[in-house]
Structure 1
Amino acid sequence: MINWKGIAVVAATLVLLSACLLDPRPFDEGAWRQSVAGMQVEDLYSEHQRDGVFFNPWLGSTRGFGGLIRWQLSTKGEYTDEAEEYLPELIPELLDRIEQLKADKDFLVWIGHGTFLIRIDSIYFLTDPILSDRALLPKRKTRPAMNMEELAGLDLPLQVIISHNHYDHLDVGTIKALPEQSRIHVPLGLRSYVQKYHKGEVVEYDWWDEKEFDGWKLTSLPAQHWSRRIGQGRDTTLWASFMIEAGGKVIYLGGDSGYFIGFQEFGRLYPKIDYALMPTTAYHPRWFMHYPHMNVEEAVDAFEDLGADYFIPTQWGTFRLGDEPPGLAIQDLQDLIEERKLDEAQYLVPKLGEIVELE
């Protein structure tokens, strides 16, 4: 005999549960910023690994699998047609244009997402390289300014910097395409994984590690993020930001991070940062994304904490990783510059493949 009453109770419960999940969770920006202000600088230097698991010792994350499910089931924000359609322009034939530059000209060029090719004092750096069509599941909205064949054909000893193991920052297909003489720099726990796909040198860093190479230095710095990958448990490998010091220039690579007290400390330790590559992606919905990702207001606040000369947004216009359209960050940045009356000259928004000569 069918228990219709029991079925009705279960159905009603599911409807109520779905209704709760579909409502976006409210988020208190003021309370969040008070939490950030309450962080202690000393925590940046504290133990951050226990029993094989890494963590941020200054402010624990409340994100979890339940939050992920709720986000996926929640009502999504609505955006204008302009916001949905806004994407960066691509300037073609990058390698030909690089060859036309004087050999002593320092530059950086946005390849796409968090991938930048940087030349300083004849040293070539490549950040978080991903040239594949997908970051596991999300598909590219814009093609990169360099393809796999062009990367493989570069006869250069690239210094490749990877901030953490998420698929939009550590891409196996792109690692396989790197010239063998490339040296790859990774946070703790990633060397053995990367060595499966790259025959060249792989160097591993804990937070605050400084390593010098033929007149230039790379320092690994804390970031407020997390790690996970198929085959690698949650937070079993470290995440980091980095500071490049080469040829009299200082460049900060933000990787992925939420807003935290670290930016003030980095600005204190490095009083002359020339360029800050700041992450601007996956910040909606705020209730779910605020801990590991900055919105544009926070990215600008972090830039001001750093005291850098120039702000360069990263990770926009390529993948849709949060609720917001991939190009929204730049529209938000333009609005914020006008609202705060910021110096537009400090905010550089290069096109894909655009060569930015470093002063």
Structure 2
Amino acid sequence: MDAPDAPGTDAPAAPAAGPLAQPFPPLAEPRPLGERRVWPRTFHDRLTAPLPGLKAIARFAREGSVRPGKDGLADIPRLPYAPAPLPRVDARTVAVTWAGHASWVLRVGGLTVLTDPVWSRRILGTPARITPVGVPWESLPPIDAVVISHNHYDHLDAPTLRRLPRDTPVFVPAGLGGWFHRRRFTRVTELDWWEAAELSGVRFDFVPAHHWSKRSLTDTCRSLWGGWVLTAPDGRRVYFAGDTGYGHWFSRIGRRYPGIDLALLPIGAYDPRWWLSDVHCDPGGAVRAAQALGARRMAPMHGGTFVLSAEPVLEPLTRVRTAWEQAGLAREDLWDLPVGASRVLE
């Protein structure tokens, strides 16, 4: 197993991305699908920032705001929403469709892959979604695989997953397999950071994120968290960040997986910054992450669907467009899709 890099220690630089570029360190050999494994009882040692202590919680209770005010909610009718039929694809097509929040329909290497699928109208502890799901469940093609970034309720939604056949291949972080086995999923592959598995020629690599995990009062950091790099048989790559703050992992992911064609990066749920900066990117941080990754294109997500924090609902979108322009990046490489829209990677 390729051991996780120690936080704060930079790996040597890899050659520049290109036809002959080689990742450093070398990529791990794919692990067997559905392998049963034993994991540590806790992954607290993977945290890149301490979880909030009593003083921070007290400050949040005293002055923190978890919802935007009336003015911040007034733009809900203006949130971009443009559902449309999924694009026609073949085994050589790479296409993405944003269903909302962190849920994407990825078409890569002939597979249809769902990321963090949440088709529910409401999740625990959060008001109902402010934009409908962009892709009706009934219009989805057969799902070939699901990837899960971590176990928070806005990324791991039991009612949605119950809709899937129990033999759907599911790729999950270390320590989360038991949750799926208890729900009778039969093809569950758990991976540690920098590990990979392969399905029908598509490679699934699990990579680090600046985040954490918790689903109940007693399971803090009992399972891992991270993102996914999907590599098609022709070498094209899509990176799905899941949920993450900004930090050193992005440059390391970019060195390990040179030539990322599209990065799906979170831009919402960032205010108040003192409370959320360690675990959620703001729009400027997402743009810096795309640059650190060496990604050719970026598609924003994790905004305009659920109200999870205090920023106005349209602010993440307007700020990411500004940050992209200020970084001097080509406008056509920012795929700021409406919920329900698709793009095909040429």
Whether 1:203 aligns to 2:189 is yes
- Corresponding position of 1:321: 308
Q: CA deviation at 1:314?
A: 1.1
Distance 1:197 1:284, change over 3 A: same
| 1:85 pairs with 2:75 | yes
In the alignment, does 2:252 pair up with 1:256? no
Distance between the aligned counterparts of 2:345 and 2:317, measured in 1? 22
> Aligned partner of 2:108: which letter?
I
Counterpart contact for 2:144–2:168, Cα < 8 Å: yes
Aligned equivalents of 1:339, 1:178: Cα separation in 2: 42
Structure 1 residue 336: deviation in Å? 1.9
How far is the alpha carbon of 1:106 from its aligned partner?
A: 3.2
Match of 1:165 in 2: 151
Q: Does residue 264 of structure 2 align to residue 277 of structure 1?
A: yes
Map residues 108-127 of structure 1 onto 2, 5 A cutoff.
108-127=96-115
Shift of 1:161: 0.3
Shift of 1:265: 1.0
Q: 1:90 offset after TM fit, Å?
A: 2.5
In structure 2, what is the Cα distance between the partners aligned to 1:51 and 1:242? 21
Distance in 2 separating the partners of 1:194 and 1:85: 38
- Equivalent in the alignment of 1:140: 129
The aligned amino acid for 1:74 is: E
Unaligned runs of 5+ in 2: 1-6, 12-24, 26-37
TM (normalized to structure 2)? 0.81
The verdict on how the C-alpha distance between 1:150 and 1:130 changes in structure 2, with shifts beyond 3 A counting, is same
Cα pair distance change 1:327/1:303, threshold 3 Å:
same
Q: Which amino acid in the other structure matches residue 298 of structure 1? A: G
- The Cα shift of 1:75 comes to 5.2
Q: Determine which structure has more spread, i.e. the larger CA radius of gyration.
A: 1
1:188 shift after superposition: 0.9
Percent identity reads 30
The structure-2 alpha-carbon separation of the partners of 1:348 and 1:83, relative to structure 1 and needing over 3 Å to count, comes to: farther
Counterparts of 1:60 and 1:231 in 2: how far apart (Å)?
A: 20
Q: Is the 8 A contact 1:264 1:306 kept in 2?
A: yes
Range with bigger deviation, 75-84 or 256-265: 75-84
What is the DSSP-based 3-state SS (H/G/I as helix, E as strand, rest coil) of the residue aligned with 2:162?
helix
Structure 1, 108-117 or 331-340: larger mean CA deviation: 331-340
Aligned match for 2:180, one of 194, 198, 206: 194
Question: Superposition pairs for residues 21-170 of structure 1, below 5 Å?
Answer: 39-41=8-10, 52-55=41-44, 57=46, 59-64=48-53, 66-74=55-63, 76=65, 81=71, 84-86=74-76, 87-92=78-83, 94=84, 97-98=85-86, 101-104=88-91, 105-138=93-126, 139-150=128-139, 154=141, 156-170=142-156
TM-score norm. by structure 1 comes to 0.79
Larger proportion of helix: 1
Q: 1:204–1:317: structure 2 CA closer, same or farther, 3 Å change rule? A: same
Corresponding position of 1:224: 210
